[in-house]
Chain A
């Protein structure tokens, strides 16, 4: 990536000496290195009260250090998910359109939606889910993940009072907290020799602040720890280790002894299983997610490999403390037992019997879906009537792309559950997209609408739906003749975006795409019934128990 050009927004350029003044920890870096690398890599910003520092969802490549003043950090995209319902018009349902609107999990709880209390963002604070707002003060750093991995900004930052901030490129960040050694694969493909920085006392300072300020909340945010008393949380806070991992470094390996419980502080962790035929990525975990509890509870070996996708920081709770907690709080044990039992059962169910190829297994994943949209390629004349109908039904945004996997002579047009490696999750700055137990995608309410997942999905199965929302906008009116400026608060209509996947119009007896197909090619089917014979044959072949009882193969009545 020699041609990557990072960009600082305009600000006051800082000389090396000025930079050291604002970030004294840089004194620990040899002067020659500073002169060589730090020049022009940081600027100073002065923000007035109410000024926006960065907006959620926008592209960024820098981190910010607050020198003075406090900022509000919040998410203004509505905390809701998209729901589409048919509309009954003047002529009943004969000339009906679909209407898309936003609704939250509180009013419309979806199965397997997260019961989170906090939203993890790209700073060492978490935003409460019911009111996603927090403050950051002097000495805090935000935008680290954006700076390292070019994730979109995870939240909007607004100056709460006049602020001074240093905006820095990655090189300064590396100097301060130490650079993360790239993986061997990266090294093999890049020709640029990178400077090595070991980090400064700034990192220790950050960690101290994290322990003091955020760790408590962070631990509390894990549902399992919610019932612990303050004393024990304090005990954990003192005893946990803060560990950092580099890109592609393995945190725990499938088959190893379980020795700790991990809570992710920043970065993305890839959870995968080695299967015959290749590696299957189960999911990606981000800030606020945790892993490693099954091995500890059941005293069994690790059931999956967890590796750092990029630079990852985790909170490691050693086995001894974890077990102590289980002893002291039997109700927690019960709770965890239930969760781990469910996870383990799901895991076992998904374990491939010996001799089965991964592709066959993933085909099995197709069968497990409630509904599938199939396009019969023997009938399809590629007229795209289905795609047009889908777009017309959903405010001009088509959720259907006539592309995807093929199974026999069918094209499986909604195939997100089948990716070996769910790329859509790898860049979500707030961790709002994840897989359900059946490997289908669910988009959580706190999606900020940045569109990264839609961009990354290899099949175009995720789309961004625009919705008009009313938002409060503050405009500063400067006072005349030195009088203090006032703020005008207005309600403005704006566009909010939400990521969305096809729900196969389950509210309709026949989805619009199927209704518009002139050639009996598009069908919405229940795979268990539709592929009944195929499933039976496959289960017989491999002696599997995970294929449900088949019913007769049906060629009609598919809607």
Chain B
């Protein structure tokens, strides 16, 4: 069930009927010879065809024009209705349905009102704007009809749009932290906006591989690993959430023993890693982090980078896995999951922009159109 569903059927029937009726009135008035005798308009509805071909100025043309103008005003009110969310004046869903179908009805009304002519420069401009508004509206409707399903299928773990920058920063921080675990002296951060990596658990090169950082990420993917429920355990959060307060506190005068509760990883504690670390593996991972992963995670447009390509990414990580020793494979997988996550966030951003960008054309042009139509009505009614 998508946006256009069975609830739209009555509207569809209404618009078709109204269009047929309007055409009948038009043809019956201005070209009765084209109608079969049975369909001729009653005499009371007959008018003289306009001499100067200006249908808009005839009573029937004015009726078409007025109805179209009223529909424009109603359509613009949808914007107001969306702002006053609490008013119980019909669900927004009903308003939108009416907005869609009534504006579609304006197509025959406008054509019949114009009498198949563009008229002067003013009316030509109005028609062009009208075309832009209608085209952007129909385009938006098509997008909104099909894109949500595409988003649902392609984004298994969607995050709230406003949180995407924050999640990106988390990914950069995790990568930087891992890089620092390979290199004792932290380098300058590639992304100034990312939170500084915590000094905690900084493991110098030559020590055992550090524990997974997965527990510290609360990204959608991290959560979506199980279908239902949170897999974050109490200990993880209890430990992780203590950090902010303590950062603001002044250092104590003397060394204080740390509390008994320390960070506990998500999974059962990683088994003590093999004592010997592999310098080659670390060098390879360091290079990968510095050259590929951190730049990719920090860049604004990730799809332009090599790792933005799913296939390239998969190949790279498969290759890297072969280059490092067994003890480091888990961490390669972790890096891969960051890149996958980043790719998904980029995709979400892209789809989100597609889904909403059309409104930036539709809404302002509609407003301009409305103003011009009012002007057109004022000028034609009161100046001529």
Whether the Cβ atoms of B148 and A402 lie closer than 8 Å is: no
Whether the Cβ atoms of A6 and B96 lie closer than 8 Å is: no
CB distance from A464 to the nearest CB of B (A): 16
Write out the residue numbers on chain B whose beta carbons fall within 8 Å of the beta carbon of A39: 253-254
Interface residues on A, range: 35 or more
Write out the residue numbers on chain B whose beta carbons fall within 8 Å of the beta carbon of A270: 234
Checking B226, B230, B269 against A359 with a beta-carbon cut-off of 8 angstroms, the contacting residue is B226
**How far, in angstroms, from A41 to B259 measured CA to CA in the complex?**
14
Whether the Cβ atoms of B257 and A379 lie closer than 8 Å is: no
Q: Does B10 contact A (CB under 8 A)?
A: no
Whether the Cβ atoms of A421 and B250 lie closer than 8 Å is: no
Write out the residue numbers on chain B whose beta carbons fall within 8 Å of the beta carbon of A182: 260-262
Whether the Cβ atoms of A380 and B238 lie closer than 8 Å is: no
Whether the Cβ atoms of A456 and B241 lie closer than 8 Å is: yes
Annotate B239-274 by CB proximity to A: 1 below 8 A, 0 otherwise: 101100110011111101111111111001100100
Write out the residue numbers on chain A whose beta carbons fall within 8 Å of the beta carbon of B39: none
Whether the Cβ atoms of A510 and B91 lie closer than 8 Å is: yes
Main secondary structure of the interface of B (DSSP, over half): loop
Q: Does B132 contact A (CB under 8 A)?
A: no
Checking A2, A40, A180 against B200 with a beta-carbon cut-off of 8 angstroms, the contacting residue is A2
Annotate A168-186 by CB proximity to B: 1 below 8 A, 0 otherwise: 0111001000011110111
**How far, in angstroms, from A2 to B203 measured CA to CA in the complex?**
13
Write out the residue numbers on chain B whose beta carbons fall within 8 Å of the beta carbon of A192: 257-258
CB distance from A96 to the nearest CB of B (A): 6
Write out the residue numbers on chain A whose beta carbons fall within 8 Å of the beta carbon of B3: 379, 381, 519-520
> Given the interface contacts A149-B238, A182-B260, A516-B85, does A403 sit within 8 Å of B228 by beta carbon?
no
Stretch at the interface among A155-163, A207-215, A347-355, A382-390: A382-390
Write out the residue numbers on chain B whose beta carbons fall within 8 Å of the beta carbon of A385: 82, 85, 92
Write out the residue numbers on chain B whose beta carbons fall within 8 Å of the beta carbon of A557: none
B99 — nearest CB in chain A belongs to which residue? A518
Q: Does B120 contact A (CB under 8 A)?
A: no
Q: Does B196 contact A (CB under 8 A)?
A: no
Whether the Cβ atoms of A148 and B259 lie closer than 8 Å is: yes
**How far, in angstroms, from A5 to B5 measured CA to CA in the complex?**
59
Q: Does B160 contact A (CB under 8 A)?
A: yes
A37 — nearest CB in chain B belongs to which residue? B257
> Given the interface contacts A40-B252, A418-B229, does A194 sit within 8 Å of B258 by beta carbon?
yes
Checking A5, A180, A194, A421 against B230 with a beta-carbon cut-off of 8 angstroms, the contacting residue is A421
Whether the Cβ atoms of A93 and B88 lie closer than 8 Å is: yes
Q: Does B213 contact A (CB under 8 A)?
A: no
Q: Does A228 contact B (CB under 8 A)?
A: no
Whether the Cβ atoms of A5 and B249 lie closer than 8 Å is: yes
Write out the residue numbers on chain A whose beta carbons fall within 8 Å of the beta carbon of B230: 419-421, 423, 458-459
Whether the Cβ atoms of B264 and A189 lie closer than 8 Å is: yes
Checking A5, A310, A362 against B252 with a beta-carbon cut-off of 8 angstroms, the contacting residue is A5
CB distance from B269 to the nearest CB of A (A): 4
> Given the interface contacts A4-B242, A378-B2, does A518 sit within 8 Å of B252 by beta carbon?
no
Checking A186, A376, A393 against B1 with a beta-carbon cut-off of 8 angstroms, the contacting residue is A376
A39 — nearest CB in chain B belongs to which residue? B254
Write out the residue numbers on chain B whose beta carbons fall within 8 Å of the beta carbon of A378: 1-2, 148-149, 152
Whether the Cβ atoms of A185 and B228 lie closer than 8 Å is: no
Q: Does A494 contact B (CB under 8 A)?
A: no
Checking A6, A179, A456, A516 against B249 with a beta-carbon cut-off of 8 angstroms, the contacting residue is A6
Q: Does A291 contact B (CB under 8 A)?
A: no
CB distance from B365 to the nearest CB of A (A): 19
Q: Does B46 contact A (CB under 8 A)?
A: no
Taking each of A40, A382, A393, which has the highest tally of chain B beta carbons within 10 Å of its own beta carbon? A382
Taking each of B1, B229, B245, B263, which has the highest tally of chain A beta carbons within 10 Å of its own beta carbon? B229
> Given the interface contacts A169-B256, A186-B260, A359-B226, does A4 sit within 8 Å of B86 by beta carbon?
no
**How far, in angstroms, from A311 to B261 measured CA to CA in the complex?**
10
Whether the Cβ atoms of A94 and B152 lie closer than 8 Å is: no
Write out the residue numbers on chain A whose beta carbons fall within 8 Å of the beta carbon of B239: 1
Write out the residue numbers on chain A whose beta carbons fall within 8 Å of the beta carbon of B237: 423, 426, 456
Write out the residue numbers on chain A whose beta carbons fall within 8 Å of the beta carbon of B200: 1-3
Q: Does B211 contact A (CB under 8 A)?
A: yes
Q: Does A463 contact B (CB under 8 A)?
A: no
Whether the Cβ atoms of A6 and B229 lie closer than 8 Å is: no
**How far, in angstroms, from A8 to B249 measured CA to CA in the complex?**
9
Annotate A188-215 by CB proximity to B: 1 below 8 A, 0 otherwise: 1110101100000000000000000000
CB distance from B165 to the nearest CB of A (A): 16
Whether the Cβ atoms of B1 and A405 lie closer than 8 Å is: no
Annotate B149-161 by CB proximity to A: 1 below 8 A, 0 otherwise: 1011000001111
Nearest 6 pairs between A and B by C-beta?
Answer: A40-B253, A182-B260, A389-B85, A7-B249, A190-B262, A40-B254
User: What are 9 contact pairs spanning A and B, CB under 8 A?
Assistant: A5-B251, A182-B260, A186-B261, A190-B258, A270-B234, A382-B352, A382-B355, A516-B91, A516-B92
